[in-house]
Amino acid sequence: MNRSSRRRALDLAARGTVYAVATLALLPLSLVLIYTVVNGWPAVSHLDFFIHVERPVGIPGAGVAHALIGTVITVGLASVVALPLGIIGGIHLAEYGAHRWAAWVRLASDVLVGAPSIAIGLFAYALFVAPFHQFSALAGSAALAILMLPVVVRTTEGAVALVPPGLRESGLALGLARWRVSLRLILPAAAPGVITGALLAISRAAGETAPLLFTSFGNRFLNLNPTRPISALPLIVYHDALTPYPALVTQAWGAALVLILLALIMNLASRFALRRQLRMAERLS
């Protein structure tokens, strides 16, 4: 075998190996999806699962309605705080982001994205649980809001940066105030990208367990009062999966299936929004 064909053979072998190893990455995704659907289906195929609350083990008709509502309340309250703050912060970074501390704000946001979620739970516990001697949905929302904030800041900044500068300049040339330009012109033009970030942040918050363990704590009953402990879907998966009762384990798989579906839907919706943003940016420039 001469040198050239040896090189070509090596190339082929290496390329094959790299591609095969890369495909390996899709294996865990399919395994997690398949097993969650197979194990969770017996639970979610009953309507009771969605409209009833927990019952003593062995009594049929148990459901996770209290956790569904808990997740909606906790994540909803967190979004009310984190989305406006994050969007305003992101607009600032994109519009005035050349000054020195902007670099620090970016670094701090990126570091906060990677901060351990359990530590954020401890932080929320120290601030919102310990002083009141009461676990509460509000404390859980605070922890989730801290998790969401940096994600929203950075994605909003990225979306606003995609808006062509001509739009901003034409607004300013018409004599509009800076705030009017950024809220009435830039933000609508960046809307799909901002929505992408918001959806990603909400999806991340809805799946978090660790920050809720000692903030919203969990609750076996339906609770609508945000100053009391409240349940959440991830907490159901975590607590029920570790019990020795097959019925509860099935229920945990069911809740896991609901969580996965929520995450996938949010993720696909955010990709759709992002694609619209890219198309819009192309058209405007």
Partner 1 sequence: MAAEVEQTQPRPPTPAPDGYRWFTSAVSLAPPLVLTCLVVVIGREAWPAISHYGLRFLIVRAWNPVRLDFGALTFIYGTLVTSALALLAAFPVGVAVALFLAEPGARRVRSVMGTGIELLAAIPSVVYGIWGLYVLAPWLLLHVSGPVSQRLGTLPLFAGPARQSSILTASVVLAVMVLPTLAAVSREVVRAIPAGLKEASFALGATWWETTWRVVLPAARPGIFGATILALGRALGETIAVTMTIGNRPEVQSSVFGSAYTLASVIANEFTEATGQLYPAALLELGLILIMITLLVNVGALLLVRRVTEPGPAR
Please report whether residue 198 would count as binding partner 1 according to CB under 8 A.
no
By beta-carbon proximity to partner 1, the closer residue of 53 and 187 is: 187
Of residues 201, 117, 116, the one with CA closest to residue 159: 201
Considering only residues 104 through 123, tell me which ones interact with partner 1, judged by CB under 8 A: 104-105, 107-112, 114-120, 122-123
By beta-carbon proximity to partner 1, the closer residue of 51 and 108 is: 108
- Do residues 105 and 89 make contact, with C-beta atoms less than 8 angstroms apart? yes
- Do residues 73 and 229 make contact, with C-beta atoms less than 8 angstroms apart? no
What is the token pair recorded at 97? Answer: 């982001």
Q: How far is Cα 267 from Cα 209, in angstroms, rounded to an integer? A: 19
By beta-carbon proximity to partner 1, the closer residue of 36 and 223 is: 36
By beta-carbon proximity to partner 1, the closer residue of 19 and 224 is: 19
Please report whether residue 261 would count as binding partner 1 according to CB under 8 A.
no
Interface with partner 1 (CB under 8 A), residue from 210, 230, 248, 281: 210
Q: For the chain, how big is the Rg over CA atoms in Å?
A: 23
Q: How far is Cα 47 from Cα 62, in angstroms, rounded to an integer? A: 10
Which CA distances in Å does 222 have to 53, 58, 68, 226? Answer: 7, 20, 10, 12
Interface with partner 1 (CB under 8 A), residue from 63, 70, 140, 150: 150
- Stretch in the footprint of partner 1 (CB under 8 A) among 54-62, 84-92, 163-171, 276-284: 84-92
Which CA distances in Å does 191 have to 8, 18, 141, 171, 186? Answer: 49, 38, 25, 17, 8
Please report whether residue 260 would count as binding partner 1 according to CB under 8 A.
yes
By beta-carbon proximity to partner 1, the closer residue of 118 and 247 is: 118
Cα dihedral 108, 113, 117, 121, rounded to 10, equals: 50
Length of the chain equals 285
Interface with partner 1 (CB under 8 A), residue from 67, 136, 234, 251: 234
Please report whether residue 31 would count as binding partner 1 according to CB under 8 A.
yes
Please report whether residue 91 would count as binding partner 1 according to CB under 8 A.
yes
Q: How far is the CB of 56 from partner 1 (least distance, A)?
A: 22
Q: Which residues contact 127 (CB under 8 A, 6 or more apart)?
A: 139, 142
Interface with partner 1 (CB under 8 A), residue from 67, 201, 266, 280: 266
Considering only residues 118 through 147, tell me which ones interact with partner 1, judged by CB under 8 A: 118-120, 122-123, 125-127, 130, 146
Please report whether residue 18 would count as binding partner 1 according to CB under 8 A.
yes
- Stretch in the footprint of partner 1 (CB under 8 A) among 49-57, 220-228, 248-256, 276-284: 248-256
Per DSSP, the three-state class of 18 is helix
Please report whether residue 37 would count as binding partner 1 according to CB under 8 A.
no
Counting residues that bind partner 1 (by CB under 8 A) gives 87
By beta-carbon proximity to partner 1, the closer residue of 132 and 224 is: 132
Of residues 64, 240, 223, 61, the one with CA closest to residue 140: 223
Considering only residues 168 through 197, tell me which ones interact with partner 1, judged by CB under 8 A: 177-179, 182
Considering only residues 54 through 83, tell me which ones interact with partner 1, judged by CB under 8 A: none
**What is the residue type of 27?**
L
The DSSP bridge partners found for residue 230 are: 217
- Do residues 11 and 26 make contact, with C-beta atoms less than 8 angstroms apart? no
